[in-house]
Amino acid sequence: MTSSHWGAFEVDVEGGRIVATRPFSEDPHPSRIPDILPAAVHHHTRVARPSVRRGWLETRRGGGRGSDEFVELPWDEALDMAAQEIDRVRRTHGNEAIFGGSYGWGSAGRFHHAQSQVHRFLNSIGGYVASAGSYSTGCAQAIMPHVLGCNFLTFLYEYQDGWPTIHDNTETLVMFGGINAKNAQVSMGGVTEHETTGWFERFAAKDMRCINVGPQRGDAPEGCEWLPVRPGSDTALMLALAHVLEDEGLNDHAFLARCTVGFERFRPYLMGESDGTPKSPEWAAPICGVAPEAIRELARRMAATRTFITLAWSLQRAEHGEQPYWMSAVLAAMLGQVGLPGGGVGYGYGAIGGVGKSLKRVRGMTLPQLQNPIETVIPVARIGDMLRHPGEPYDFNGRRGPYPDIRLIYWAGGNPYHHHQDLNALQEAWQRPETIIVNEPWWTATAKRADIVFPATTPYEREDIGRTNLDDYLFHMPQLVPPVGEARDDYAIFAGLAERLGAGPTFTEGRDAEEWIAGLYDDYRANAAREGVEVPDLETLKERNWVRLPVREDGPNRRYLAPFREDPEGARLGTPSGRIEIFSEAIDGFGYDDCPGHPVWLPPSEWLGAAGAEAPLHLVSPQPGDKLHSQLESALADVEGARPETLVIHPEDAAARGVATGDLLRVFNARGACRARALVSEGIHRGVVALPTGAWFGDPGTNIDPDGNPNVLTRDMGTSRLGQGCSAHTALVEVARLSA
Ligand SMILES: Nc1nc2c(c(=O)[nH]1)N[C@H]1C(S)=C(S)[C@@H](COP(=O)(O)OP(=O)(O)OC[C@H]3O[C@@H](n4cnc5c(=O)[nH]c(N)nc54)[C@H](O)[C@@H]3O)O[C@H]1N2
Ligand SMILES: Nc1nc2c(c(=O)[nH]1)N[C@H]1C(S)=C(S)[C@@H](COP(=O)(O)OP(=O)(O)OC[C@H]3O[C@@H](n4cnc5c(=O)[nH]c(N)nc54)[C@H](O)[C@@H]3O)O[C@H]1N2
Ligand SMILES: [Mo]
């Protein structure tokens, strides 16, 4: 038995190979993702030995990444070479020239957490340029503290209502972007009991009205109502709902006066007094594609019942993603239910399986990362800009500063050629640094575009502990099979480099992996005891393989907005005013035209309202249902008919292009092109197409990405100067049938 980001599963091993996986008995709705695992772990695309790109080996130059062949070297030689190069760069240019942001999910397991390992290593040798935020919620992490006054991730995981509270209290659940059981399959660090589907069965049984507001019917479980809206237009719809509340006297002015600031600065915009455009249902209808009467009916319903508004993270993974997030809090405040059980607003239910679980938290099992002497940090999704514009200033959440001049990139546990937008542009910018080093189990597009590749083990080839505060299980993850090829653990790779760079003792503290795991485990166990949670000792856990911890609690997630609602003065929020900020003096003071002092409707540069003949369809690129991002893709791509990826298209758009289900397509815009396989469906808004992420980016030199990676089409731009998040969902494309 082992744990993973997609849950726990049993593993059958024969002759040193994983031959099958089976669901964990305690999981009511196990994920099917592990089915493909045996084929992936032993796949021919595993990196067998340390490998160095021939062009770099011969010239030490950056050009040619992605097209050169690789030369395999013995470990010692490759480690010597990498250490010498890191040393050269830090001596010549300083540690400020090393980018170690190294974003990505890597794998579950606490000690062998690749990001912690690479950050600890780089800190032990003088530091690195880090990245802040995430592709998941970077924009929300910037905007929401201005509005709600607390760290967004703390709000998500500790303050929002849990499923039981929603079940017991909510009458109307309005889900912008849906609540998706497919996405709740995974959760960072593990999700043992997959609960989302079960909760929706219970919601249906008690006649909770669940409304999925978004471009795809399938974003919410069956039985939910679907209110189709155009992508990128949610803010307009929310403004119109707010307009109805104000217009019809349903706005809770008493709550606004007690618990918010700035409604009087927002109201003239809402009612059209400041710009001559009332944000009425008639105004919003052509923008979002929802009829005025349906908007009115929804607003009245929301005011008349206990209403919980939820937003998928996807809404802020788009240009001006700050606006729907901010506006949702304003709408919830106008309804006056913020802080009531099962009322108000919450974010990311269904985005990952851990959101909504009501659990007591215990700190620990985290590898200390040491201090980073380098203070330069970029917003994570701005890596392309950083490489293109060294030394040039950019704005981020009220600060302005230059991008660093990066000479060396180290990546472990992430796949930028999966996660970044406009991959053709990234590939060009990627040629600039002098050296790129990657630790990877598989020959991903990122590994193929590196200069030095170290083969890393997968979790099944090493021992670890599985735990997260978003789950109530604790796992011993035994080593199940020997390392594939000559793969080594990230810890061993970094220990080898640190030693060569004179930082061996700082990095390892004289401990091997087993000693680290035992030490981290004991600290965690002591923390748990202080919290009154009994955790078995490591030997007992090893024998039992897993335990369920007594950390479930009903409604612990009510410790922020509920007390604030009761006593706004005594339990002030962390905003400058101590209240929910409908108008933010701080944001207004930044002077950003792309994120002014209160929520506004700002049309994105690419959406159906701006569609032209060249690119008439809005592309959304959601998470894949059959895997986690680009992981396990090598084996999935082998399945007959699985690639290129499936693109969902509305029947009218398909008919206009002579496209039928199963047809091979070319999906394209000015940034690039990929292949896809058509699935014609009524479950998608007309004018919208959906192509999941996760297909591996192809080799350079093809003008059409063969397997269907949507990031050849997406736009690489910040959400705004405030959030600088990833704008993956803002893209227009055209689709055509490919012959044969
Ligand atoms: N168009 C579009 N793009 C998106 C998104 C979108 O919605 N649309 N979503 C974005 C989001 S939210 C995210 S989080 C990102 C995800 O992007 P990533 O997190 O970068 O994607 P993964 O495929 O999970 O990459 C993890 C990599 O780590 C490797 N790995 C696994 N275990 C280990 C290990 O132990 N050691 C080492 N060294 N490597 C290991 C895996 O093989 C894999 O290549 O994508 C973003 N990109
Ligand atoms: N199986 C699986 N699950 C995953 C992942 C995975 O790779 N595989 N990745 C995980 C990660 S890292 C993250 S961050 C989360 C992401 O969780 P989310 O951000 O919630 O998920 P997405 O799949 O990007 O988007 C969900 C839906 O939002 C809709 N949508 C897109 N744009 C808009 C819009 O403008 N308005 C509205 N109303 N709807 C819109 C799309 O139809 C899409 O299907 O998922 C996690 N879960
Ligand atoms: Mo994410």
User: Does the annotation count 159 as an active-site position?
Assistant: no
Distance 82 CA to ligand 3 centre (A): 30
Q: How confident is the model at residue 719 (pLDDT cuts 50, 70, 90)?
A: very high
- Collect contacts of 66-69 with beta carbons under 8 A, ≥24 apart: 66/427, 66/445, 66/448, 66/449, 66/699, 66/700, 67/699, 67/700, 67/701
574 pLDDT more than 90: yes
**Ligand 2 lined by 625 (C-beta under 6 Å):** yes
Q: How confident is the model at residue 17 (pLDDT cuts 50, 70, 90)?
A: very high
Share of the chain above pLDDT 70, in %: 100
Distance CA 643, CA 532 (A): 50
Q: How confident is the model at residue 60 (pLDDT cuts 50, 70, 90)?
A: confident
As a whole number, the mean pLDDT across the chain is 97
* pLDDT computed for residue 466 by the predictor: 98
* pLDDT computed for residue 13 by the predictor: 98
User: Does the annotation count 524 as an active-site position?
Assistant: no
| Residue 360 burial (C-beta neighbours within 10 Å; 0-12, 13-18, 19+) | middle
Among the options 6, 103, 159, 163, which is catalytic? 103
* pLDDT computed for residue 700 by the predictor: 86
The pLDDT tens digits of the residues spanning 249-280 come to 999 999 999 999 999 999 999 999 999 999 99
462 pLDDT more than 60: yes
Distance CA 229, CA 109 (A): 39
710 pLDDT more than 60: yes
What is the rounded average pLDDT of the residues 354-362?
92
* pLDDT computed for residue 567 by the predictor: 97
In contact, 8 and 189? CB cutoff 8 Å: no
- Chain-centre distance for alpha carbon 515: 32
The pLDDT tens digits of the residues spanning 593-640 come to 999 999 999 999 999 999 999 999 999 999 999 999 999 999 999 999
What is the rounded average pLDDT of the residues 331-360?
96
Share of the chain above pLDDT 90, in %: 96
* pLDDT computed for residue 556 by the predictor: 65
The pLDDT tens digits of the residues spanning 282-296 come to 999 999 999 999 999
Q: Taking the complete model, does pTM exceed 0.75, yes or no?
A: yes
From atom 34 of ligand 2, which residue's Cα is the shortest distance away?
Answer: 231
Distance CA 230, CA 619 (A): 11
* pLDDT computed for residue 423 by the predictor: 98
731 pLDDT more than 60: yes
Query: Of residues 212 and 364, which shows the higher confidence score?
Result: 212
CATH fold of 608-737 reads Barwin-like endoglucanases (2.40.40)
Nearest residue to 487 via CA among 552, 418, 444, 440: 440
Distance 314 CA to ligand 2 centre (A): 5
The residues that bridge with 410 in the sheet, in sequence order, are: 437
What is the rounded average pLDDT of the residues 424-442?
97
| Residue whose token pair is 């856990």 | 541
Domain boundaries, given as residue ranges, for the chain: 46-133+399-464+474-537, 138-357+557-590, 608-737
Query: Of residues 740 and 66, which shows the higher confidence score?
Result: 66
740 pLDDT more than 60: no
**Ligand 1 lined by 102 (C-beta under 6 Å):** no
What is the rounded average pLDDT of the residues 530-541?
96
156 pLDDT more than 90: yes
Distance CA 608, CA 606 (A): 7
Q: Provide the token pair at 550.
A: 């007594």
Q: What is the CATH architecture assignment of 46-133+399-464+474-537?
A: 3-Layer(aba) Sandwich (3.40)
> Which of 693, 696, 727 maximizes ligand 1 atoms within 8 Å of its Cβ, making it the mutation to test the pocket?
693
Which residues have CB atoms below 5 A from the ion given as ligand 3? 136
Q: How confident is the model at residue 324 (pLDDT cuts 50, 70, 90)?
A: very high
36 pLDDT more than 90: yes
DSSP annotation of 712? G
The domain 138-357+557-590 is placed in CATH, from the list 3.30.160.270, 3.40.228.10, 3.90.79.10, 3.90.230.10, at: 3.40.228.10
Distance CA 668, CA 674 (A): 6
